[in-house]
Amino acid sequence: MKKYPAWRYALLLIVLGVGILYALPNLYPAQPAIQVTYTDSAKSADQKLLSIIQSELFDAGIITEDLSLKNNNIVVRFQSLDDQLLAKSLLQKTLLDQIIVALKLEPTTPDWLANLGGQPLKLGLDLSGGVHFLLEVDVETALNDKTDGLLNSYRKKFRTEKISYSQSQVIDKQLIFVFRDQDSFSRAKDMFFDDSFTATGLQYDLEESASTQTLKLAYSDLAIKELRDYAVQQNLMTLRNRVNELGVSEPVVQRQGANRIVVELPGVQDTTSAKKIIGKTANLEFRLEARSETSRLRKTEFGFKNSNFGSAYLENDVIVTGDRVTNASTGFDENGQAQVNITLDMQGGRAMQRATDGNIGRRLGVLFVEQKSSSSLSVDETGQEVIAQTSYVEKNIISLATVQAVLGTNFRITGVGTPQEASELALLLRAGALAAPMKFVEERTVGPSLGKENIKLGMQSIIAGFALVILFMFIYYKFFGLAANLALTSNLILITGFMSLLGATLTLPGIAGIVLTVGMAVDANVLIFSRIREELKAGKNPHLAIQDGFSRAFITIFDANVTTLIAALILYAIGTGPIKGFAVTLSIGILTSMFTAIMGTRAIVQLMYGNRSLRELKI
């Protein structure tokens, strides 16, 4: 039998050492915890808030494992999930809109291991849970905004075409125009009629009163349906972009019903940040500052986000909104203040160019539009205290700067607050603006979907099956079976370690992939040992039989595993959710099983028989 090269032993030890190192964090289970931060992202959690939380929990008799400031948030650890849920409910009722309380699992990995990048294996929603959000798209608000935009659009057209009207307003989602003369009435009616018919169908329902020279315009049922579908689809795409920005493994973002979206984040750690990024509407509106002589009907007063700056009047006409932003990044101006660098699409760039051309020296306002909610305590019919939520839209000026030159697709906005606020705004704009506001209908952590007892029994069956395989291999193949069992154990360690290192998420289908991998790893050893038996029956000496058995079985093992790996990669490419989880574990398992079955088992057999004189071999 040829001498086994020293570099192969070294490679085995290095790979196994790395696998053990990154599998170790799985021995330290995460603890239930809550993460508390101020609703206002400009404020960081401080000692004062920590003291309030500590006092409230102590008075309620809720036992905490640890309470500390961590990364501008307050993290409270508990011994049980019951204490975690009680603490969240208590703090939400006590502090209401002042804070965001998010459930999480706090890792207990030792610092030295965490500093090396060690982290426990992320478990999917069906195993250990994660965060589940159910959001509802506010189509009514989107329709109101669309109607207001349509009103402003026709006001511009009428001024350009010199169509005279005495009244223009929106009542119950209807545009109502009263015209000064018959000619203006007729021309406006023709304009409405021409705009009503598009390639997709009738967009507007038109009512007219010739006696009062009044026209009423409302979106048709078809247009409302198109708007609803567009809003939900756009929000769905935006949410997927935002979740990708968060770096969550195997998230689920899908539509549910007519106007709801489900977001599931398995194994997520920073749930407070997730809720802020996912839930914020965070759109922008660019408007010119109104001149002093502008009619009050054509301007609106807005306050600054920094309340110390007071307020200013901006024109009602919106130049562009955040849905025209194609890219956004943060930077610093010449004074070291945070700024956001904006890139618009071509249509947005043209609109900005038209608005600023001829208005150099005037100030351009940037409105930050947020969908917010206020909480209040009320008592339901059973006498229980419940938290009632009321949604509203808030618009504040974040920048009001003088236009120095004609703006196009690229420019910057200043006065956006702290670098953290600038980074958050850039992320939201980069991920895309929401077509309509959304509200959280449901937020919960998800336990095992098949039940803890079923998962416990499933894990017991895996352990029992693994033990039976080990016993069978040892009885049937003697010391060769011992070598296979050591390689099989190493294979499971490597799968766990490398999945943890890659940040992959383990799901119930993923466990099925591991079980299949164990079978394939055993199958590879069976092929090798069967080949060695054949070589012995052919009359070869034991050393040569071992050498030829490994070398000749390699091609069969390689072909079988490569074809399975190709199938796993296809599953990952076209599959979603659980199918991807299965494909990930199967792919990693195939690579590690080939490594341990061919190199690992070969090295162990070499150590057992390589330096011995053999007359016969029992296998």
Of 532, 515, 595, 538, residue with least CA distance to 561? 595
Q: Name the helix (H) or strand (E) containing 190.
A: helix 182-196
Q: Give the burial string for 303-318 (b: 16+ CB within 10 Å, else e).
A: ebbeeeeeebbbbbbb
202, β-bridge pairs:
197
- What strand order describes the sheet that includes 73-77? 66-70, 73-77, 31-38, 99-106
Q: Measure the CA–CA gap between 561 and 512, rounded to whole angstroms.
A: 17
Closest Cα to residue 39, out of 275, 304, 297, 359? Answer: 275
Cα 53 to Cα 76: distance, rounded to the nearest angstrom? 9
Q: Which residue has the tokens 């005037």?
A: 362
**Widest distance between CA atoms in the chain:** 116
If residue 75 lies in a helix (H) or strand (E), which one and from where to where?
strand 73-77
3-state SS string for 222-251: HHHHHHHHHHHHHHHHHHHHHHHHHCCCCC
What residue has token string 């025209």?
Answer: 324
Rounded CA gap, 52 and 50, in Å?
Answer: 5
Q: Alpha helices, DSSP H only, in 338-399?
A: 346-356
Rounded to the nearest 5°, which phi and psi values hold at 233? Answer: -65, -40
Q: Enumerate helices (H) and strands (E) in the chain, giving the number of each.
A: 15, 25
Q: Are 302 and 395 in contact (CB under 8 A)?
A: yes
Q: What is the DSSP letter of 482?
A: H
CB 598 within 8 A of CB 554: yes
All residues at 6 or more sequence positions from 615 whose CB lies less than 8 Å from its CB, including other chains: 542
Residue closest to 407 by CA, chosen among 368, 332, 357:
357
Helix (H, G, I), strand (E, B) or coil at 484: helix
The whole-angstrom separation of Cα 148 and Cα 32 is 47
CATH topology of domain 282-433: Gyrase A; domain 2 (3.30.1360)
Nearest to 31 by CA among 96, 109, 102: 109
* Whole-number pLDDT of residue 277: 65
Tell me which residue of 5, 170, 11, 7 sits closest to 596, measured CA to CA. Answer: 11
CA-closest candidate to residue 107, choices 163, 162, 28, 37? 28
pLDDT at 387: 67
d(CA 207, CA 176): 9
- The pLDDT assigned to 107 comes to 80
Average pLDDT, consecutive stretches of 10 residues, N- to C-terminus, the chain (619 residues): 78 92 88 81 80 90 88 86 83 77 80 87 72 85 84 86 90 91 92 81 87 91 87 84 62 84 72 65 82 85 81 90 80 82 87 89 86 69 70 82 86 77 72 73 65 67 80 84 88 90 81 81 85 86 84 86 90 77 88 87 83 73
The pair of three-digit structure tokens given for residue 260, joined into one six-digit string? 């709801």
- What is the rounded distance in angstroms from the CA atom of residue 419 to the CA atom of residue 339? 8
Q: Where are the domains of the chain?
A: 6-25+449-609, 31-106, 140-224, 282-433
Strands (DSSP E) found in 448-596: 505-506
CATH architecture of the domain with range 31-106? 2-Layer Sandwich (3.30)
C-alpha–C-alpha distance, residues 581 and 188, integer Å: 59
User: Tokens representing 328?
Assistant: 């956004």
Question: Hey, what's the torsion of the CAs at 18, 125, 248, 92, to 10 degrees?
Answer: -120
Distance in angstroms (rounded) separating the CA atoms of residues 101 and 275? 10
Q: Are 417 and 338 in contact (CB under 8 A)?
A: yes
CATH class of residue range 6-25+449-609: mainly alpha
Residue 549 β-bridge partners: none
Q: Which residue has the tokens 């196994």?
A: 16
Q: What is the dihedral of CA 216, 221, 223, 225, to 10 degrees?
A: 150
Query: Do residues 428 and 277 touch, judged by C-beta distance below 8 A?
Result: yes
Tell me if 517 sits within 8 A of 495, measured CB to CB. yes
614: its two tokens:
């053999």
Residue 539 falls in which region: left (phi positive, over 0), alpha (psi -120 to 50) or beta: left
